[in-house]
Amino acid sequence: MKVVRSLALSGFAGMSLVHGVQAQVVKLDGSSTVYPISEAVAEEFQKFKKGAIKVTVGISGTGGGFKKFCRGETDISNASRPILKKEMEDCAKAGIRYYELPIAFDALTVVVNPRNSIKQLTIADLKAMWEPTAQGKVVKWRQANPAFPDTPLKLFGPGADSGTFDYFTEAVNGKAKASRGDYTASEDDNVLVQGVQRDSGALAYFGFAYYVENKANLKALAIVDPKTGKAVEPSEQTVIDGTYQPLSRPIFIYVSEAGYKKPEVAEFVAYYLKQAALLAKEVKYIPLPPKAYELNAAHLEKRKLGTVFGGEAEVGIKIEDLMTREAKF
Rounded average pLDDT over 4-10: 36
Predicted pLDDT at 11 = 36
- Assess whether pLDDT exceeds 90 at residue 62: yes
Task: Find all residues with CB under 8 Å of 90, minimum gap 6, and list them.
Answer: 66, 67, 70
Please state the φ and ψ torsions of residue 231, each to the nearest 5 degrees: -85, 125
Name the DSSP letter for residue 113.
Answer: -
Q: CA torsion sign, 158 to 209 to 84 to 69?
A: positive
**What letter represents residue 129's amino acid?**
M
Q: What is the mean pLDDT of residues 183-206?
A: 94
| Predicted pLDDT at 260 | 98
What is the band of 110 on the pLDDT scale with cuts at 50, 70, 90?
A: very high
Q: What is the pLDDT of residues 206-240, one digit of tens each?
A: 999 999 999 999 999 999 999 999 999 999 999 99
What's 94's DSSP letter?
A: T
Domains, the chain, ordered by start: 24-105+250-328 (3.40.190.10), 107-240 (3.40.190.10)
Q: Which pLDDT score is estimated for 325?
A: 87
Residue 195's pLDDT band (cuts 50, 70, 90): very high
Q: Would you place residue 8 in the very low, low, confident or very high pLDDT band (cuts 50, 70, 90)?
A: very low
The model carries a pTM of 0.86
pLDDT at position 24 = 93
Q: What pLDDT is recorded for position 6? A: 35
3-class DSSP state of 205: strand
